[in-house]
Amino acid sequence: MTQLPYSIVRLLPKAKPQVIRHGFPWVFANELVMDRRTKGATPGSLVVLEDADRRPLGLGTINPLSKIAVRMLDFDTDAVIDQAWFKAKLERALQHRDACYDEPFYRLVHAEADGLPGIIIDRFGDVAVIQPNAAYAEAMIEMIVAALVEVTGVSTVIKNGTGRARSLEGLDEEMVVVHGTAPDGPVPVQMNGATYMADVMGGQKTGLFLDQRPNHAFAAGLAKGGKVLDVFSHVGGFSLAALANGAASAVAVDGSAPALELAKAGAEASGVADKFETRHGDAFDVLEALGAEGETFDVVVCDPPAFAPSKQTAEKGLRAYERVARLAAPLVKEGGYLVLCSCSHAADLKRFRDASARGIGRGGRRSQLVYTGQAGPDHPLLPQLAESGYLKALVFRL
């Protein structure tokens, strides 16, 4: 056996190496022999993972500061993780997106599901936003960006180094242009016939939520000629798609005034500003107020942030989803539709569906479930990793 160029880390006897062999991409710290050498490893450095019997399982990257101690990169322990390696991963990811979309507006890399653990890349035409949420991605950011530019030809790459995932990896927060120049204002993005405005330097996440695209389209089809209420609207995801596809009017509700300004700009760019209104305020308060006003809509959409981001918050989050459904259900006209969404991976589909149904019932309505949606094909799901299939969209007819 040739001498391996990387340090070796080893699973504890209690750990199950078969899950790694079958494609699970993570090794948790409590599954690893955490001796002095392993604890002292440089975050983001490369290691060969072995089972308890010293049989190699693959090449990974270690971060002893994180609960996810090892992220698997390649089953070939002799692989060289360099710009060419990243280029090959990006080319494979791009091939899939080119097969799915006519225009370059999509998530190019969906972390583990695209073989690049902890890395998110969203593409908005000539602008790409990368989130390096793992220590190795931060350490190798220059070669990743170089490979990204080589593969896609984008003129600007922004590193969005913010968010909870980075803090769990022990990484600092930073927002910086790493290639090209910052765009002069929001970037227009075309989806489902509407134009959205992505604030790639100061907005939430990468500036736009691309994952809901197929669910936007389905809801828009139900809203033709009708009134739409889009709660937790961000930059108008559901409402602008509905208006672009024939809805009579739409009201977008959000707690972020800057997000609503971007929604208004999107409505202008889409040519539907005369049918579009915004309402700034706490979503729960606005739902209660609309109920007191006796307002009703043909389609009501509630797409809140992750109420259950972890197992510890799951029960509290499910109660919040139930409350959303209870307050929203009375606002739906007889025979109309209620769209309820969750981006909480800790609340699985069954529990979210049950909480939504309870809320609808407690809102005094009866329902039938007519559609269950997930993220679009640019957000592939890694079958071995439930967390990669976080998004759920339920459409009830009331």
Catalytic residues, which ones? 343
Contact at 8 Å (CB) between 364 and 330?
yes
d(CA 28, CA 70): 7
The conformational region for residue 302 under phi > 0 = left, psi -120 to 50 = alpha, else beta, is beta
Q: Using alpha carbons, select from 272, 299, 273, 300 the residue that is nearest to residue 286.
A: 300
Please count the CA atoms within 13 angstroms of the CA of 346 that sit on its side-chain side: 15
Strands (E), the chain: 7-10, 26-28, 45-50, 56-62, 68-74, 105-110, 119-124, 127-132, 156-161, 174-179, 187-191, 194-198, 227-231, 249-254, 276-280, 297-302, 332-342, 368-373, 392-397
Strands (E), 7-104: 7-10, 26-28, 45-50, 56-62, 68-74
Q: At which residue do the structure tokens 């090449």 appear? A: 59
Q: At which residue do the structure tokens 């990006």 appear? A: 90
d(CA 20, CA 386): 15
Query: Which residues are CB-neighbours of 100 under 8 A, at least 6 positions away?
Result: 106, 376, 377, 378
- What is the 8-class DSSP label of residue 276? E
d(CA 27, CA 16): 10
Sign of CA dihedral 13, 14, 18, 19: negative
Sign of CA dihedral 238, 347, 163, 144: negative
Query: Which residues are CB-neighbours of 3 under 8 A, at least 6 positions away?
Result: none
SS3 content of the chain, % helix, strand, coil (to 5): 35, 30, 35
Rg (CA), the chain: 23
